[in-house]
Structure formats: C-alpha cells, structure tokens
Amino acid sequence: MNSMMRRNLRSVTRPNPSSKAPSDKNYLRELILKVIRNYGSDSDPDAVLPELLLNIRLLINKGLNAQVGKLIEKAMRIAGEREQYNEMLVINDLLLKFYRMSPAEAPYNAWQIEQMDKDILDRITLTRQALYLRTHMAEIEARAQWRNREREARDIMGVATGMTENPNLPRKQNFTF
C-alpha cells in the first residue's frame, strides 16, 4: 500500500511532459500563425479591411466606443475605394449596431445609415447590371466571331470546290500536268 501511495504522489508531483505536448503544440501553432498573419497585414491591402472589421466588432462587443466611430469611417472609406460593396453592407450593419448601443457617439444617425444602405444596394444593383451587360456583349462578340469563322470556312471550301460565294476570292484553278 505504501508503494502505491508513493507512485500516486510521484505522478501528482511530477507530471508527464508528453501528456501536455499536444495542447502546447496547438497553442504554439496558433500563436505562430497569428504572428505571421499580423506581420504582413499592413502591406497587404486585402488584409486591412477584414482586420479593421474584427477590431470594430471587438470594440463594440467590449463596449469600448471611443475609437469605433473612427474605425468605421476608415473601413467604409477603404471599402468604398476598393468597391467592396458587400463589405460596405457589413460595415453599415456594424454601424447600426454601434448606433443602437450609443447614439450620441455614433458618427451617423439612423436615417443616414438607412440612406447609406440604399446607396450601397443601388451600387450593387448597378454593378450587377454592368456585369450582365459585359457578359452579354462578350456573348454577342463570340457569336459574331463564330459566324465570321463559318463564312471563312465556307469560302475556303468554295475555293477548294470551285464554288465561292465571295466574288473577291479566286475560283478553283484547273491544273494540268
């Protein structure tokens, strides 16, 4: 009995280092990824906006309202410059949440936020219409190119058989050897 108690005491006083290794490895891997992500985020313009959105959410959820207005305006400016309308809608939702929490500190009132939403949705609609028109024009151009190729193929076949539709192309020559 005495030896059993000693073994139990040893296991309590000297923990097995390999038992904590997987959790430590996961913690270190997550920490390394976070450092790598933060190291290059300032130089990558695609990483700036998501980082700003995370910071805004964090500040709103913690109730730290002093910097939220400035960050929202900065995020909206960046999203507008890059024409990222879906992100602008997300920013507007955060702005509305911020306004509901502290209307006095919000940079915009509810009416302005609603007008911004309408403006963003109009831009999205116009962008989708422009994309549809560009796709439609590309289809028309592809069809026209296909028709031109068909005419060229018919003309080539006509030259080979001696029956051309195009008067400018030469007729089949009779060669004698």
Predicted TM-score (pTM) of this structure: 0.54
In this prediction, residue 42 carries a pLDDT of 63
Residue appearing with tokens 């068909």: 150
Task: Report the share of the chain in percent with pLDDT over 90.
Answer: 9
Round to whole Å and give the CA distance between 162 and 113. 72
Torsion-angle region of 175 (φ positive above 0: left; ψ -120 to 50: alpha; else: beta): beta
pLDDT at site 150: 82
At 5 the pLDDT is: 56
Q: Which of 29-38, 40-49, 138-147, 161-170 has the highest mean pLDDT?
A: 138-147
Predicted confidence (pLDDT) per residue in 107-133, tens digit: 888 888 889 889 989 988 988 898 899
- What was the pLDDT predicted at 100? 86
Q: How confident is the model at residue 165 (pLDDT cuts 50, 70, 90)?
A: low
Which residues lie below 8 Å from residue 53, measured CB to CB, with a gap of 6+? 75, 87, 90, 91, 94
**In the chain, domain spans:** 35-161
